[in-house]
Amino acid sequence: MEYIKKYNEWLNNQYFDEETKKELLDIKDDEKEIEDRFYKDLEFGTGGLRGVIGAGTNRINKYTVRKATFGLANYILKNCTEEARQKGVVIAYDSRYKSEEFCMEAAKTLAACNIKTYIFDSLRPTPQLSFAVRELGCIAGIVITASHNPPEYNGYKVYFSGGGQVCPDIAKEIIAQVNKINDYSMIPTTNKRNPLIITLDENIDIAFIDAVKEQVVNQDIIDKVGKDIKIIFTPIHGTGNIPIRNVLDEVGFKNVSVVKEQELPDSKFSTVKYPNPEEKEVFDIAIKMAKKDGTDLIIGTDPDCDRVGVVVKNTDGEYVVLNGNQVGSLLVEYVLSNKLDKIKQMHNPTIVKTIVTSELGATIAKSYGINSVDTLTGFKFIGEKIHQYEMSKEATFIMGYEESYGYLVGTHARDKDGVVSALLISEMAAYYYDKGMTLYEGLQEVYKKYGYYKEELKAITLKGIDGMEQIKFIMNYFRKANINEIADIKVDNIKDYSKGIDNLPKSDVLKFILEDGSWIAVRPSGTEPKIKFYFGCKGNKQDEVDDKLEKIMDSITEMITVTA
């Protein structure tokens, strides 16, 4: 069997170190584990790698990181001019296990290919990497992170000269170069003292924070109540601690506390099950702190500080987590309503969201006469739009957001930015605080103005070879089942994005739009062994929307059960 052959090759090839071989010997009697580690190569997808840390071709380790980097290097050497190559590649990493090691392995492989490489002296947020690519004029960037995945994961994302993650056209060419590499021992490397590996100083940190501060919407509000509003921040053991606390302090938020138990980097993420700000459990310690002094706002960022979770008090005085659609819509309302005169002077001002994000933001934008554009799922496509607008001058990017807790105001970064988001969420909370309102009450005000919207996500985890086949089966079922109604509501339109519709690249996504404006989207996750179902409803009353959404979700759940 092919996977046994690969397993034995790793055990017997002197290129692989003793630590790797010992790990593999420990599983010699577990054929299922051997199969899972070697039945395929860890796929270098449109954004890079993500997988469980460990030895094997289907794991992320220093060898698979070298392979990915060598593929990137070969793409640069083949397609870029000498001048472009000399601009170099910048690499950042987060607090995950082996992140620093993988950063250095990538740097050593690039340097061995005669490509200059910039690295940071310690962990940095993903949005700062996006910023640094353009600030340093690099040809590409790499960030070592698995975002909000469990502790056993790590990942490798590639950015290009525009500052955003590589999009499908370039990604395909990089993937082709990676797939050409069959012999790991042929991948070059060097030592960390190679003069082509350059450690950055604090100037890039200062420049990033200055760029974030430029996005402040209303400094007067911060000056007025920044010392009074109580904020608790948790970086959830990740990279957000220093930059977010610095930027909040520098603009005038002086009553900010940090969750001490989650302040320092910790690759085990010891206080949480998953370091994911979408989960209320990660805020348990922060909420206990908040209850003692009536904190107004809790903010949490994931390990690489590109996603932000928000906790506020509801009308019953209980602390509740706002979802990504709610926070994104609040930001659209806040930014547009407070900067409308300035924004109206711009050429075709536009907000950008994804096809699985709430329509509330688009409704808000339309009410202000601002354009709204949809992209495929993934912030890389929003970043691509920013670059497109910059080149073509067809529109001016105002902000972008997606339901998965990612937001960006401004163009200093080309990826979701937890630093600028934390700043503007704090400013937005201060705005409502000055009006004697909580952020939750601000959300209710938005609903009363534009209608009630509610969204839910149902994700089903299906691991391994069998899981991958089951995901394909479910997608095929929904494509071919001839679904005419869902929860007794007629299906008005079915959008199959695998056909390349709406001027978007082909993508394995289905979206059912119902005649009352409700919608359901289904897609395999691009980063995890999951299939995801997105639901959205709207109506004139909260109870009406809650009931409708529950019925739609129940109907889809029954269909999923049929496919099991």
Provide the β-strand partners of residue 165.
159
Residue 109 CA, chain-centre distance (Å), reads 26
Indicate which residue of 95, 99, 130, 147 is catalytic: 147
C-alpha pair distances (Å), 201 with each of 121, 143, 192, 207, 226 = 8, 18, 17, 11, 31
Longest Cα–Cα distance of the chain, Å, equals 70
Cβ neighbours of residue 169 closer than 8 Å, sequence gap 6 or more: none
CB 389 within 8 A of CB 375: no
Rounded CA-CA distance 452/544 in Å is 9
Rounded CA-CA distance 58/38 in Å is 6
Strand locations in 145-263 (E): 153-160, 197-199, 231-234, 256-258
Residue 404 a catalytic site member: no
For the beta sheet containing 308-313, the strands, ordered from the edge strand earlier in sequence to the opposite edge, are 256-258, 231-234, 297-301, 308-313, 319-322
| Strands 319-322 and 349-354, bridge-based pairing | unpaired
Sign of the alpha-carbon dihedral angle for 281, 285, 289, 291: positive
Provide the β-strand partners of residue 198.
118
Rounded CA-CA distance 215/220 in Å is 14
Rounded CA-CA distance 113/196 in Å is 10
Strand locations in 174-291 (E): 197-199, 231-234, 256-258
Rounded CA-CA distance 196/374 in Å is 41
Q: Which has the closest alpha carbon to 272: 307, 300, 231?
A: 300
In the block, which residue shows the tokens 């503007």? 424
Q: The tokens of 117 are what?
A: 């490489």
C-alpha pair distances (Å), 393 with each of 134, 352, 389 = 18, 16, 5
One-letter amino acid for residue 186 of the chain: M
Please return the burial class of 96, using the count of CB atoms within 10 Å of its CB with bins 0-12, 13-18 and 19+.
Answer: buried
Rounded CA-CA distance 113/101 in Å is 19
Residue 371 CA, chain-centre distance (Å), reads 24
DSSP string for residues in 282-350:
GGHHHHHHHHHHT-SEEEEE-TTS--EEEEEE-TTS-EEEEPHHHHHHHHHHHHHHHHHHHHHTSSSEE
Rounded CA-CA distance 129/414 in Å is 10
Q: Which residues are catalytic?
A: 147
